[in-house]
């Protein structure tokens, strides 16, 4: 049983102003006053032991919420014969204080250290400052952790060979070299946008925010900002592939048949897409309508190239694509860029062949056969072509047959002519 003993005339150390300051901090900074008081109490106990050469573990500090005073006590257990006087008090000595005490009681004897009010004020101030810093760091960390994947605007503070340091207001952000667009230049005091890709705790509890302008998520968020239909969920972004600073492909879809997802993203006279291109410093953007049919989706993904046919092997996730001769380089793109972006966008392996290569394969299959046999063997290929040109298979087969027959006829006439000359 704990009982408190103190001199009636002693009013304790005045901490009214400190307690009022804690109330204000709780309201303005969101700091927990109870947690702050516990930290201050622990710090004051340590300060007391240090300044008064005490190694006692039974020192207790309490704040009186009614009058704002602070009191320091030493707790001791009442025993008949004390063995450790720093923690125990004899029953005889306890009765001098209060005759109602009995063995086993834990009593508090108030201490009256001189000048401890000044020490207490300094210690409390240090603790409060430290806790404010810690709480502020925690608040910043929690705030930006919740904003991962969002776009922020910052002021470039420093540019080094390894990173760009940006001022985000409450905290600094770092954009490593790998997250910088190679075609862009950054200068001190430039105001730029970037997406938060990672938030982690750094040295001494500081918040480390990693930014990026190369991430496909940066493009996604720009579309969400610029296109209300995407932000509202009317239009979905299915996938994005990007060659930062050069070209991006974005696949969009709307379950509402009355909405044109591509047209909505481009905007009237291209105003919406142009705003995004401007933010990306001229990076080209291909907006493509997503389709659950891989043949149609792959064909669209290879834009701006025209596609004659797409033959998909779902088991191997492989697509054979046929394009006009004059579209082959466009379909592949400079350094394979267009084909590479189409592959990333669709997640299909894509092999592109020209129309001449296709016809050469067709002719090889027809050598030494009649037109009818050739048509029969090329019917499967014709079906692929028919799907892409939206013509009946019979028409495509007939066209191939007529072409083959015409060639055979010309060949026979030439042969007869040569025989007549002889």
For residue range 205-246, list pLDDT tens digits in order: 788 999 999 999 999 999 999 999 999 999 999 999 999 999
Residue 202: band (very low, low, confident or very high) from pLDDT cuts 50, 70, 90: confident
Mean pLDDT to the nearest integer, 398-420? 57
d(CA 182, CA 201): 28
For residue range 376-400, list pLDDT tens digits in order: 444 444 444 444 444 444 454 455 5
What's the confidence (pLDDT) of residue 155?
96
Domain 218-290: homologous superfamily in CATH = K homology (KH) domain (3.30.300.20)
What's the confidence (pLDDT) of residue 403?
58
* CB contact at 8 A, 56 and 49: yes
% of the chain with per-residue pLDDT over 90? 42
Domain limits, the chain: 2-142, 147-212, 218-290, 368-421
Nearest to 64 by CA among 36, 37, 32: 37
Mean pLDDT to the nearest integer, 46-57? 66
For residue range 131-162, list pLDDT tens digits in order: 777 777 888 888 899 999 999 999 999 999 99
Residue 371: band (very low, low, confident or very high) from pLDDT cuts 50, 70, 90: very low
Q: How far is CA 363 from CA 324, 348, 369, 371, in A?
A: 17, 28, 10, 11
Identify any residues that bridge with 174 across adjacent strands, giving them in sequence order.
Answer: 165, 210
Nearest to 216 by CA among 232, 238, 199: 238
* Contacts (Cβ under 8 Å, ≥6 apart) of 166: 154, 155, 156, 157, 172, 173, 174, 175, 192, 194, 211
d(CA 417, CA 422): 9
Q: Which of 3.30.1330.30, 1.10.540.10, 3.30.1480.10, 3.40.50.620 would CATH assign to domain 2-142? A: 3.30.1480.10
For 169-223, give the DSSP string: SSSEEEEEGGGS-TT----TT-EEEEEEEEEEE-GGG-EEEEEESSSHHHHHHHH
What's the confidence (pLDDT) of residue 220?
96
* Contacts (Cβ under 8 Å, ≥6 apart) of 310: 294, 295, 296, 298, 299, 319, 320, 321, 322, 384, 387, 388
Sort residue 84 into left (φ over 0), alpha (ψ -120 to 50) or beta: beta
Mean pLDDT to the nearest integer, 337-365? 87
Residue 107: band (very low, low, confident or very high) from pLDDT cuts 50, 70, 90: confident
Domain 147-212: homologous superfamily in CATH = Nucleic acid-binding proteins (2.40.50.140)
Highest mean pLDDT among 6-10, 115-119, 318-322, 416-420: 318-322
d(CA 249, CA 223): 12
Instruction: Return the higher-pLDDT residue of 367 and 408.
Output: 367
Instruction: Return the higher-pLDDT residue of 110 and 304.
Output: 304
What's the confidence (pLDDT) of residue 152?
94
């Amino acid at each position: 049983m704990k009982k408190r003993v103190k001199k009636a005339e002693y009013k304790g150390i005045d901490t009214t102003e400190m307690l009022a300051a804690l109330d204000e901090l709780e309201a303005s900074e969101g700091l927990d006053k109870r947690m702050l008081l516990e930290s201050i109490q622990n710090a004051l106990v340590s300060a007391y032991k240090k300044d008064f050469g005490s190694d006692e573990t039974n020192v207790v500090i309490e704040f009186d919420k009614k009058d704002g005073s602070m009191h320091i006590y030493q707790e001791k257990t009442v025993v008949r014969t004390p063995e450790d006087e720093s923690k125990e008090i004899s029953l005889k000595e306890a009765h001098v204080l209060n005759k109602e005490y009995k063995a086993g009681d834990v009593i508090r004897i108030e201490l009256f250290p001189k000048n401890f009010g000044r020490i207490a004020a300094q210690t409390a101030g240090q603790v409060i400052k430290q806790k404010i810093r810690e709480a502020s760091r925690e608040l910043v960390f929690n705030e930006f952790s919740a904003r991962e994947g969002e776009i922020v605007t910052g002021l470039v503070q420093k540019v080094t060979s390894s990173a760009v340091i940006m001022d985000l207001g409450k905290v600094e952000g770092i954009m490593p070299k790998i997250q910088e667009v190679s075609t862009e230049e950054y200068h001190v005091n430039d105001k730029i946008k970037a997406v938060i890709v990672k938030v982690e705790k750094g040295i001494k509890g500081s918040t480390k925010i990693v930014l990026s302008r190369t991430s496909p998520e940066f493009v996604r968020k720009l579309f969400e900002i610029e296109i209300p239909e995407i932000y509202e969920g009317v239009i979905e972004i299915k996938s994005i592939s990007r060659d930062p600073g050069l070209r991006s492909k974005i696949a969009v879809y709307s379950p509402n048949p009355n909405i044109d997802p591509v047209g909505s993203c481009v905007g009237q006279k291209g105003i919406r897409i142009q705003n995004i291109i401007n933010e990306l410093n001229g990076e080209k953007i291909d907006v493509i309508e997503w389709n659950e049919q891989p043949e149609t989706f792959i064909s669209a993904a290879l834009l701006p190239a025209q596609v004659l046919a797409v033959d998909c092997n779902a088991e191997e996730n492989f697509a054979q694509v046929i394009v006009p001769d004059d579209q082959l380089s466009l379909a592949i793109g400079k350094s394979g860029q267009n084909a590479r972006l189409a592959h990333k966008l669709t997640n299909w392996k894509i092999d592109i062949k020209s129309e001449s290569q296709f016809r050469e394969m067709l002719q090889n299959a027809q050598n030494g056969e009649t037109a009818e046999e050739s048509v029969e063997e090329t019917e499967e290929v014709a079906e692929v072509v028919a799907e892409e040109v939206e013509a009946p298979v019979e028409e495509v087969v007939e066209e191939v047959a007529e072409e083959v027959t015409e060639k055979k006829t010309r060949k026979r006439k030439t042969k007869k002519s040569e025989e007549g000359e002889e």
